[in-house]
Amino acid sequence: MAEAVINNEALNRIIASVAEIAGYIWDKGWAEKNAGNISVNLTEAVSINLKDDTLCSHRELSSPFTALAGQCFFVTGTGKRMRDIARDPLSNGLIIRIDDTGNGYHIIAPEDKNRLATLRPTSELPSHLAIHTMISNRGSKQRVVIHTHATELCALTQIKELCDGDKLNRILWGMHPETKVFIPKGVSFVPYLLPGSKELAAATVDALSKHDVALWEKHGVFAIGENIEDTFDMIDILAKSASVFFTCHAAGFEPEGLSDDQIDELGKLVF
């Protein structure tokens, strides 16, 4: 086996961040069984010698991602537990390189070849790759996509009359000042669609074209960011807002929320 890939400090840092944040996601209670998935664009962190045999096990994609040809990603494996990803990201995830046609990908050889037979990328790969395509096309620095089942945010989208981007943002921004400061564009709302489907991927890309966070009705949240810590923080802040909302209701009163003027004022703060 020729030497793999990898410019290692950058990659090691990213993988360590994945482990840390996967642990927080598990600690938050957002990751029952295999819930949630993470992908990171590694193209700048790895260099691959196309002549070596570290590019092994080619697989077809269900639809082409030509704009991503040649790009490399860490993706969590389908069925893998977030708590196990926290312990050992590289045994519970894959490094893949989209092939030169964009119709498939190579898995960069894991140390243990026997794992290849069972290791598959997340079932939400269509959404992850569609989002990375959008990010790549617009040339932004975002590299990270996190999907998790943040309980409080799942619960919000169970309230039919709140299933609308403007209404959700009014509530989320109103429950805590930092929500407007750190998620100034707010969230977008994606009506329920089958998990793992191309339709859900297309709706998510649409939703994230103007926002950094999308709430999937009755399912969870997708967020995009430049690094994994900040991407997690956005979800955490939104979950805090939703939690304040439900805590007030549980205590028997309707929260007043910040006023429109207060939210606008927060939106003008510069850091």
Active site residues: 124
| Separation CA 182–CA 128 (nearest Å) | 23
Contacted entry of ligand 13P, Zn ion, none for residue 78, CB cut-off 5 to 8 Å set by kind:
ligand 13P
Rounded to a whole number of angstroms, the minimum distance from the CB of residue 4 to Zn ion is: 30
90 by DSSP, 3-state: which?
A: helix
Q: Cβ closer to ligand 13P: 191 or 195?
A: 195
Q: Cβ closer to ligand 13P: 34 or 169?
A: 34
Rounded to a whole number of angstroms, the minimum distance from the CB of residue 34 to ligand 13P is: 4
- Site for Zn ion, residues 200 to 229, rule: CB under 5 A: 220
Contacted entry of ligand 13P, Zn ion, none for residue 127, CB cut-off 5 to 8 Å set by kind:
none
- H/E element, 224: strand 220-225
Rounded to a whole number of angstroms, the minimum distance from the CB of residue 27 to ligand 13P is: 17
Q: Cβ closer to ligand 13P: 126 or 174?
A: 126
Q: Cβ closer to ligand 13P: 184 or 195?
A: 195
Size of the chain, expressed as the number of residues it contains: 271
Handedness of CA 9, 27, 223, 130 (dihedral sign): positive
Is 94:85 a contact under the CB 8 Å cutoff?
A: no
Q: ∠ at Cα 217 (213, 223), nearest 5°?
A: 15
Contacted entry of ligand 13P, Zn ion, none for residue 39, CB cut-off 5 to 8 Å set by kind:
none
Is 210:136 a contact under the CB 8 Å cutoff?
A: no
Residues that bind ligand 13P (CB under 6 A): 34-37, 76, 78-79, 122-124, 147, 195
Is 96:121 a contact under the CB 8 Å cutoff?
A: yes
Contacted entry of ligand 13P, Zn ion, none for residue 110, CB cut-off 5 to 8 Å set by kind:
none
- H/E element, 165: helix 165-175
Q: Cβ closer to Zn ion: 6 or 190?
A: 190
DSSP 8-state class, residue 111: S
Q: ∠ at Cα 192 (81, 214), nearest 5°?
A: 70
Contacted entry of Zn ion, ligand 13P, none for residue 257, CB cut-off 5 to 8 Å set by kind:
none
Rounded to a whole number of angstroms, the minimum distance from the CB of residue 32 to ligand 13P is: 9
For Zn ion, the binding residues (CB under 5 A) are 220
